[in-house]
């Protein structure tokens, strides 16, 4: 089974109308149409999504949000629903990012509920799982990421993950410059695929599992060469178009 590599930019809370336009101008010569062989997405703050939907109109690049509300609609001041994301042409949404779990108190149950709302509204979820340094050092990595994944599988099944992606992001590797080794990351990806296979063998083979945590052009090729690493979720190195494109080219040359 060959899975098409998928490289996703997570701009986090960065950008401005001007900076985003500059990013688009720098990237479009290489991103217009289907110039890149891998699937690519850019996930931006809510307020800039319309700018990206228009900016990527003539590109196969997908546009993603970084969160959505856990409720369908109503009196939830300041929230943005999955239906609203679909309404403005947003293709996907990152859910369960560790910054949402640790800084904003999202639980496995909250994340699973958001995945259901996203999928039901036609927005593809990219579901993040990952362990803390303390959990890794205690030998609990597989237990923790399997628990996080099972919470989603129990609520919504595997199809939302086949449509979007699963992302393994060890917390100690995010924004630290310290990536997991390709071998360690592969071991976790293999374990995650085995959890997916408990639900549906064939769908597990079709699900893309991305690695995230200090991915750069210089470590991307080794990560992408692993049999269960199907791409990357890229934070810091996605803020400059040329750095992000260099990672996309690593995926393209697989």
Q: Which residues bind ligand PEP (CB under 6 A)?
A: 10, 169, 174-175, 212-215, 233-237
- CB-nearer residue toward ligand PEP: 159 or 217: 217
**Least distance between ligand PEP and beta carbon 34 (Å):** 25
Q: Pick from 181, 234, 233: which is nearest to 210 by CA?
A: 233
Tokens standing for 6? 């998928």
Please tell me the distance from the alpha carbon of residue 15 to that of residue 38, in angstroms, as a whole number: 24
Tokens standing for 104? 């904003």
**Least distance between ligand PEP and beta carbon 14 (Å):** 11
Task: List Cβ<8 Å contacts ≥24 apart for 184-189.
Answer: 185/211, 185/223, 185/226, 185/229, 186/226, 186/227, 186/228, 186/229, 188/141, 188/142, 188/145, 189/226, 189/228, 189/229
**Least distance between ligand PEP and beta carbon 45 (Å):** 13
The one catalytic residue among 22, 97, 137, 198:
97
Query: CA dist 109 to 96, 114, 178, Å?
Result: 10, 9, 29
- CB-nearer residue toward ligand PEP: 118 or 234: 234
**Location of structure tokens 């890149």:** 36
Q: How many CB atoms lie within 10 A of CB 36?
A: 21
Q: Which phi-psi region, left, alpha or beta, contains residue 218 (left: φ > 0; alpha: ψ -120 to 50)?
A: alpha
Q: Is 122 annotated as a binding residue?
A: no
**Least distance between ligand PEP and beta carbon 199 (Å):** 25
Q: Is 10 annotated as a binding residue?
A: yes
| Burial category of 25 from C-beta neighbours within 10 Å (exposed 0-12, middle 13-18, buried 19 and up) | exposed
Q: Is 20 annotated as a binding residue?
A: no
User: Is 58 one of the annotated active-site residues of the chain?
Assistant: no
In the bound state, the residue with its beta carbon closest to ligand PEP is 235
- CB-nearer residue toward ligand PEP: 3 or 216: 216
Q: Is 175 annotated as a binding residue?
A: yes
User: Is 134 one of the annotated active-site residues of the chain?
Assistant: no
- CB-nearer residue toward ligand PEP: 106 or 203: 106
The one catalytic residue among 99, 106, 131, 169:
169
Q: Is 146 annotated as a binding residue?
A: no
- CB-nearer residue toward ligand PEP: 29 or 175: 175
**Least distance between ligand PEP and beta carbon 213 (Å):** 5
Mark the binding-site residues for substrate, compressed into ranges.
10-12, 175, 214, 235-236
Mark the binding-site residues, compressed into ranges.
10-12, 175, 214, 235-236
Q: Which residues are catalytic?
A: 97, 169
């Amino acid at each position: 089974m060959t899975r098409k590599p998928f490289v996703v930019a997570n701009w986090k809370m960065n950008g401005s109308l001007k900076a985003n336009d500059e990013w688009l101008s720098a990237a479009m010569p290489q991103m217009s149409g289907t110039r890149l062989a891998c699937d690519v997405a850019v996930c931006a703050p809510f307020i800039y999504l319309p700018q990206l939907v228009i900016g990527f109109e003539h590109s196969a690049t997908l546009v993603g949000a970084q969160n959505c509300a856990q409720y369908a609609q109503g009196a939830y001041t300041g929230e943005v629903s999955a239906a609203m994301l679909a309404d403005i042409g947003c293709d996907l949404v990152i859910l369960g990012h560790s910054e949402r779990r640790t800084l904003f108190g999202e639980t496995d149950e909250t994340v699973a509920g958001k995945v259901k709302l996203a999928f039901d509204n036609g927005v593809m979820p990219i579901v993040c799982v990952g362990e803390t340094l303390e959990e890794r050092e205690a030998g609990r990595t597989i237990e923790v990421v399997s628990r996080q994944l099972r919470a989603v599988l129990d609520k919504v099944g595997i199809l939302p993950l086949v449509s979007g992606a699963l992302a393994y992001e060890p917390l100690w590797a995010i924004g630290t410059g310290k990536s997991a080794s390709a071998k360690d990351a592969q071991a976790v990806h293999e374990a995650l695929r085995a959890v997916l296979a408990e639900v549906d063998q064939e769908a597990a083979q079709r699900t893309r599992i991305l690695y995230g945590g200090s991915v750069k052009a210089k470590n991307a090729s080794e990560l992408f060469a692993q049999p269960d690493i199907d791409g990357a979720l890229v934070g810091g190195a996605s803020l400059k178009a040329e750095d992000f494109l260099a990672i996309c080219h690593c995926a393209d040359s697989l």
